[in-house]
Chain A
Amino acid sequence: MIAGSKLEKVIRSGQFAVTGELGPPKSADLTMLKQHGEALRNHVEAFNITDNQTAIVRTSSIACGAVLVQMGLEPIIQITVRDRNRIGIQGDVLGAVALGIKNILCLSGDHQKFGNEQQAKGVYDIDSMQLLDGLRKLRDEGRFIGGDKVGAPVSYYLGAVANPFADPFEYRVDRLEKKIAAGASFIQTQCIFDLARFKKWMELVRERGLHKKVAIMGGVTPIKSLGAARYMKNNVSGIIIPDEIITRLQGAKKKKEEGLKIAIETIQQLKEIEGVAGVHVMAIAWEEVVPEIVERAGLYPRPKL
Chain B
Amino acid sequence: MIIAERKPLQQIFEMLKSYRRIGILGCGTCVTVCMAGGQKEAEELAAALTIHRRREKEPVEVEAFTIERQCEYEYIEQVKDRLAGYEVILSLGCGVGVQTLVERMPELRVLPGVNTQSMGYPLEQGVWVERCLGCGDCVLHVTLGICPITRCAKSILNGPCGGSSGGKCEIDPEVDCAWHLIHERMEKMGRLSELQAIQPPKDWSVSHHGGPRTVVREEVKLDRGQ
Interface residues of A (CB under 8 A from B): 81-82, 86, 107-108, 110-111, 113, 122, 124-130, 133-134, 145, 161-163, 166-168, 171, 174, 177-178, 181-182, 190, 237-238
Known: A108-B163, A174-B192, A237-B163. 15 other contacts (CB 8 A): A81-B154, A108-B154, A125-B201, A127-B155, A127-B156, A127-B157, A166-B162, A166-B163, A167-B164, A167-B165, A167-B180, A168-B183, A178-B198, A237-B165, A237-B169
Residues of the A chain whose Cβ atoms lie less than 8 Å from the Cβ of B154: 81-82, 108, 111, 122, 124, 127
Residues of the A chain whose Cβ atoms lie less than 8 Å from the Cβ of B180: 167-168
Contact B155 A111 (CB under 8 A): no
Contact partner, B201, options A122, A126, A162, A237, Cβ 8 Å = A126
Residue with the greatest number of chain A CB neighbours at <10 A, chosen from B157, B159, B163, B202: B163
Residue B16 lies at the interface, judged by CB distance under 8 Å to chain A: no
Contact A238 B170 (CB under 8 A): yes
Residue B158 lies at the interface, judged by CB distance under 8 Å to chain A: yes
Given the interface contacts A166-B162, A167-B165, A237-B165, does A130 sit within 8 Å of B198 by beta carbon?
yes
Residue B195 lies at the interface, judged by CB distance under 8 Å to chain A: yes
Residues of the B chain whose Cβ atoms lie less than 8 Å from the Cβ of A133: 198, 200
Contact A178 B199 (CB under 8 A): no
**How far apart are the CA atoms of A181 and B166 in the complex, in Å?**
26
**How far apart are the CA atoms of A113 and B174 in the complex, in Å?**
15
Contact B157 A130 (CB under 8 A): yes
Q: Total contacts A to B, CB within 8 angstroms?
A: 101
Contact B196 A174 (CB under 8 A): yes
Residues of the B chain whose Cβ atoms lie less than 8 Å from the Cβ of A171: 160, 183, 195
5 A–B pairs (Cβ distance < 8 Å), ordered by A: A130-B198, A161-B162, A163-B163, A166-B160, A166-B163
Contact partner, A177, options B155, B156, B196, B200, Cβ 8 Å = B196
Interface residues of B (CB under 8 A from A): 153-171, 173, 180, 183-184, 192, 195-196, 198-202, 204
Contact B171 A130 (CB under 8 A): no
**How far apart are the CA atoms of A168 and B164 in the complex, in Å?**
8
What's the nearest-Cβ distance from chain A to residue B135, in Å?
12
**How far apart are the CA atoms of A182 and B200 in the complex, in Å?**
11
What's the nearest-Cβ distance from chain A to residue B10, in Å?
20
Residues of the A chain whose Cβ atoms lie less than 8 Å from the Cβ of B161: 108, 127-128, 166
Contact partner, A238, options B162, B167, B195, B200, Cβ 8 Å = B162
Residues of the B chain whose Cβ atoms lie less than 8 Å from the Cβ of A145: 201
**How far apart are the CA atoms of A168 and B185 in the complex, in Å?**
12
Residues of the A chain whose Cβ atoms lie less than 8 Å from the Cβ of B204: 125
What's the nearest-Cβ distance from chain A to residue B151, in Å?
13
Residues of the B chain whose Cβ atoms lie less than 8 Å from the Cβ of A113: 153, 171
Contact partner, A108, options B156, B173, B183, Cβ 8 Å = B156
Residues of the B chain whose Cβ atoms lie less than 8 Å from the Cβ of A190: 162
Residues of the A chain whose Cβ atoms lie less than 8 Å from the Cβ of B165: 166-167, 237-238
Contact partner, B158, options A122, A177, A178, Cβ 8 Å = A178
Contact A130 B158 (CB under 8 A): yes
Contact partner, A174, options B168, B169, B173, B195, Cβ 8 Å = B195
Chain A residue nearest to B148 in the complex (CB): A127
Residues of the B chain whose Cβ atoms lie less than 8 Å from the Cβ of A130: 157-158, 198-201
**How far apart are the CA atoms of A4 and B110 in the complex, in Å?**
64
Residues of the B chain whose Cβ atoms lie less than 8 Å from the Cβ of A166: 160-165
Residues of the A chain whose Cβ atoms lie less than 8 Å from the Cβ of B202: 125-126
Chain A residue nearest to B172 in the complex (CB): A113
Residue with the greatest number of chain B CB neighbours at <10 A, chosen from A130, A162, A190: A130
Residues of the A chain whose Cβ atoms lie less than 8 Å from the Cβ of B159: 127
**How far apart are the CA atoms of A40 and B171 in the complex, in Å?**
34
**How far apart are the CA atoms of A167 and B157 in the complex, in Å?**
17
**How far apart are the CA atoms of A166 and B153 in the complex, in Å?**
16
Residues of the A chain whose Cβ atoms lie less than 8 Å from the Cβ of B184: 168
Chain A residue nearest to B159 in the complex (CB): A127
Chain A residue nearest to B162 in the complex (CB): A163
What's the nearest-Cβ distance from chain A to residue B179, in Å?
9
**How far apart are the CA atoms of A80 and B169 in the complex, in Å?**
18
What's the nearest-Cβ distance from chain B to residue A83, in Å?
12
Given the interface contacts A125-B204, A166-B165, A238-B163, does A178 sit within 8 Å of B196 by beta carbon?
yes
**How far apart are the CA atoms of A178 and B158 in the complex, in Å?**
9
**How far apart are the CA atoms of A167 and B202 in the complex, in Å?**
25
Residues of the A chain whose Cβ atoms lie less than 8 Å from the Cβ of B200: 130, 133
Residues of the B chain whose Cβ atoms lie less than 8 Å from the Cβ of A182: 198
**How far apart are the CA atoms of A167 and B184 in the complex, in Å?**
11
Contact A124 B155 (CB under 8 A): yes
